[in-house]
Amino acid sequence: MKKIEKKPEHRNHYIERFTKSWAIFIKNPMGKTGLIILSAFMLMAIASFFVPLLGPVYHPMTGADPNITYSTGPSLQHWLGTDFIGRDLFVQLLEGAKVAFIVGLSCAFISVVLGTAIGMISGYAGGIVDTILMRIADIFMVLPSLVILLILASLWELSIWVIIFIIAIMRWPSVSRIIRSQTLSLKSRPFIEASRVAGASNFRIIFKHIMPNVLPLAFLYMTFRVTSAILVEAALSFLGFGDPGQVSWGMMLQWVWSSGHMFQAPYWLLPPGICISLLTLSFYMLGRAMDEVLDPRLRKEEEEE
C-alpha cells in the first residue's frame, strides 16, 4: 500500500516542477520570441508534406514549370519565383525547413544521448574507465568536423543520413564533459550515498537518481547542438558536398551560386539565407531561456536590474 501511495506523489512532483519551469520559461522575452519563430518554421516543415498534392510541377527536386526555362521573380503562381530550370523556390524553401529540422533534431538527439550516457558512466565509474572515455572525448573534440565531412564527401557521395550520423558523432564530447562534471557533483550527494547503503545497484543509481537530475542540462545543450548541426549541413551543401538528391537551404544557396544568379536574383538568394539565420537564432533563444530556468542566479540578476 505504501508503494501505491508514493507513486502519485512522485508523479505530482515532476508535474509541479515542469509547471514551474514552464512559467519561468514563458516569462522570458527571448523564450517567447524563439518559440514563435520556431513555430513558424514548424508550420513550414509540416506544409512541405502536403506539397505533392499540388501536382508533379511543384515537386521541389524534379518538378518544373514547362512554360519557364529560366529564373523568374515572384508571381501569383510562384510566390518566390523560380530557379534557372523553372522549379518553384517557395516549395524548395518549405522542403528546406523540413530537412533543417530533420538534420538539426536528429544530430542533436544522437549526440546528446551518446554524450549523456558516456558522461554519466565516466563520472560515476571514475578511475581507468573515466580516463579512457575522456581521452577518447579529447580526440573527437579536436577533430574539425567540417573538414572531415569535406574529405569524406570528396571521396564518396554522402546521403543526408550519413551526414547526420557523422555530425552527431563529432558533437558528443562537449556534452559528455558537462554531464560528467554534473555526475561527479551528484554522486557525492547524501541521497546517492543513502541509495548505495540501501543496496541499490550501480545501474539503478545511474538511471533512477543521476539521470533525472542531468537530463534538464542535456536538453539545454541539445538546443545548441541543433544550431551547430544546421549550420554545418548548410555550409557543406553550399560548398557543393551535400546530398545532391535532397533539397536543403544550403543546397539552394549552392544552386544560386553555381548558376551565376548570386547577384541577379535576390528573390532566390535571400530567403534561404534568412531562414538559416532565423531558425538557428530561434534555437539559440530557446537555449538562453532554458539556461535561465536552470540557473536561478540569472533570474536574480534580472530581477535586481
Note down pLDDT in tens along the chain; length 305 residues: 444 444 455 556 556 766 777 777 778 888 889 999 999 999 999 999 998 888 888 889 888 888 888 889 898 888 999 998 899 999 999 999 999 999 999 999 999 999 999 999 999 888 899 999 999 999 998 888 888 888 998 888 889 999 999 999 988 998 899 899 989 888 888 888 888 888 878 888 888 888 888 888 888 888 888 999 999 999 999 998 988 889 999 999 999 999 888 888 999 999 999 999 999 999 999 888 887 777 665 555 444 54
Q: What is the pLDDT of residue 35?
A: 92
Neighbours of 28 (CB within 10 A): 22
pLDDT score for 92: 95
- The CATH topology of domain 92-294 is MetI-like fold (1.10.3720)
Asked if 75 and 81 count as a contact pair (C-beta separation under 8 A), the reply is yes
Contact 293, 25 (CB under 8 A): yes
CA 57/CA 268 separation, integer angstroms:
18
Q: Where are the domains of the chain?
A: 92-294
| pLDDT for res 295 | 66
The residue behind cell 556534452 is 175
Say which residue the cell 554531464 belongs to.
179
pLDDT, position 77: 87
- DSSP-based three-state secondary structure for 293: helix
Specify the pLDDT at position 53. Answer: 86
Residue 277, pLDDT score: 95
Burial 220-242 (b: 16+ CB within 10 A, else e): bbbbbbbbbbbbbbbbbbbbbbb
Q: What are the tens digits of pLDDT across the range 189-247?
A: 888 888 888 887 888 888 888 888 888 888 888 888 899 999 999 999 999 898 888 99
Euclidean distance between CA atoms 77 and 251, whole angstroms = 23
